[in-house]
Amino acid sequence: MGAAHRTTMHGARCVVLVLVLVLALPVALKDTGAPVASLVPPVPGVPRPVVVMVLNSAYTRVFENFIRAPGAHHLAAWETHIICTDRATAVSLAKLGWRCQDTVKTGRSAAQVYTRRIPYVAHLVHLGRDVLITDVDAIWLGDPLPDIMATQAGIIGSRGRSPHLDWGASLCMGFIFFRGSDPLVRAAMPVLTEPMREDQTDFNHNMQRERLVWDEGRVRFVDSIDTSFGTLRPKNANAGHAGLRVAMLPHKSYVRICEDKVDYSTVIIAHCHSRGKRAHLKVQSLGAKNLWYIPEKGRPDIDPHPPMPQPGTARWSAFVAQQRAPASNASAPSP
């Protein structure tokens, strides 16, 4: 574990997380119709759940699009940790009103970048923190927190197609939640997250090895409309082990395979599969799926989705105040 990682972890708070309810202000974001989360201060000693993202300089434009999305303001309910892989990323984030929680050097491959977040998340879970991993191309169109908290499962993920297991779908590491306040999750994390050469493949194989069984036998993928549940009973668990509950969110609301014409009215997270992991391919895919919110060059006057600064900062307070101001009579078209 790198020195920078150790320094960040030393400052983490060892507390058990209790859900912080974040109310919505009775106002709308200009031209989006989405409520702005209010700046309800956290109760002393009761931290918000953590959302973790990993970012390199090639993906800063994808991240800017992420914080412009209609549901991005729901990040205010979370404590945001961004792991940056280089100094250039930190500089770019600062211009957008965000900061890196940690800066670590990684290789250039997507597998190396994504896998770097796993020990960071595992340590937060060890400290009793509830943690969500989200990719920056997993576009927030709504609020995932009610669904996450309603399941009561220890591990909750969206559905993916890789690796190809006999489950019918896999757990997607691009949007997955770990309830660190559950002692069963804390106990299971070491065996589920090591070794990690490619996080999604290895994590799902580890879950399979530790005897994850789905209640319905074989889960649905793109045609799923309800949450699926399963139970994990580690091989080294004693006979009285209650089993760790695992959940897969419905593809209807947490989309991975996006059809040509997607009805986003019921979608909370749109994590559309692209032809590759390179940033320019993500940009192309998001544009093709009508999920690109950065205005065209030469048209700065048309910006219905301004970039959201990091919640809890002075720039965030100014952003909320601006969004609460009366909207102009002219309505800007949607991207």
HSE of 207, CA atoms in CB hemisphere, 13 A: 28
Q: Measure Cα distances from 184 to 37, 90, 121, 158 in Å.
A: 32, 35, 16, 20
Using the predicted structure, report yes or no on whether residue 159 has a pLDDT greater than 90: yes
CA–CA distance, 19 with 101 (Å, rounded to integer): 22
Using the predicted structure, report yes or no on whether residue 8 has a pLDDT greater than 60: no
Mean pLDDT of 170-194: 94
Tokens linked to 310: 């990091």
The reported pLDDT for the residue numbered 195 is 72
Q: Which of 36-50, 85-99, 119-133, 286-300 has the lowest mean pLDDT?
A: 36-50
The reported pLDDT for the residue numbered 52 is 96
Using the predicted structure, report yes or no on whether residue 32 has a pLDDT greater than 70: no
CA-nearest of 132, 158, 135, 144 to 55 is: 135
Going by their DSSP bridges, the two strands 254-255 and 269-270 should be labelled as parallel
When comparing pLDDT for 296 and 126, which is higher?
A: 126
E runs forming strands in 249-320 = 254-255, 269-270
CATH code at position 42: 3.90.550
Alpha helices in 35-141 (DSSP H): 60-66, 87-95, 110-115, 117-126
CA–CA distance, 330 with 306 (Å, rounded to integer): 16
Does residue 335 sit within a domain?
A: no
Using the predicted structure, report yes or no on whether residue 37 has a pLDDT greater than 70: no
Does residue 170 sit within a domain?
A: yes
The reported pLDDT for the residue numbered 276 is 78
Q: Provide the domain count of the chain.
A: 1
Mean pLDDT of 305-326: 83
Does residue 321 sit within a domain?
A: no
Tokens linked to 96: 């957008």
Question: What mean pLDDT is reported for the chain?
Answer: 81
Tell me the β-bridge partners of 140.
269
Using the predicted structure, report yes or no on whether residue 4 has a pLDDT greater than 50: no
The reported pLDDT for the residue numbered 24 is 27
Q: Tell me if 207 sits within 8 A of 221, measured CB to CB.
A: no
Does residue 302 sit within a domain?
A: no
Highest mean pLDDT among 7-16, 85-94, 122-131: 122-131
Tokens linked to 271: 């994590």
Does residue 299 sit within a domain?
A: no
- What are 221-248's pLDDT values in tens digits? 999 999 999 999 877 666 566 799 999 9
Does residue 322 sit within a domain?
A: no
- What are 198-208's pLDDT values in tens digits? 889 999 999 99
CA-nearest of 64, 125, 126 to 89 is: 64
Does residue 117 sit within a domain?
A: yes
Q: Which of 19-23, 139-143, 194-198, 249-253 has the lowest mean pLDDT?
A: 19-23
CA–CA distance, 207 with 213 (Å, rounded to integer): 9
Residue 332: partners with Cβ closer than 8 Å, 6 or more residues away: 31, 302, 303, 304
HSE of 241, CA atoms in CB hemisphere, 13 A: 19
Write the burial class of residue 149 (CB in 10 Å: 0-12 exposed, 13-18 middle, 19+ buried): middle
0.75 exceeded by pTM: yes
Assign 101 a pLDDT band (cuts: 50, 70, 90).
Answer: confident
Helix axes of 183-192 and 117-126: crossing angle, nearest 10 degrees: 150
The reported pLDDT for the residue numbered 218 is 94
Residue 75: partners with Cβ closer than 8 Å, 6 or more residues away: 51, 67, 140, 308, 311
Tokens linked to 130: 């509830």
Q: Which domain holds residue 128?
A: 3-294+309-315
- What are 243-264's pLDDT values in tens digits? 999 999 999 999 999 987 778 9
Mean pLDDT of 128-137: 97
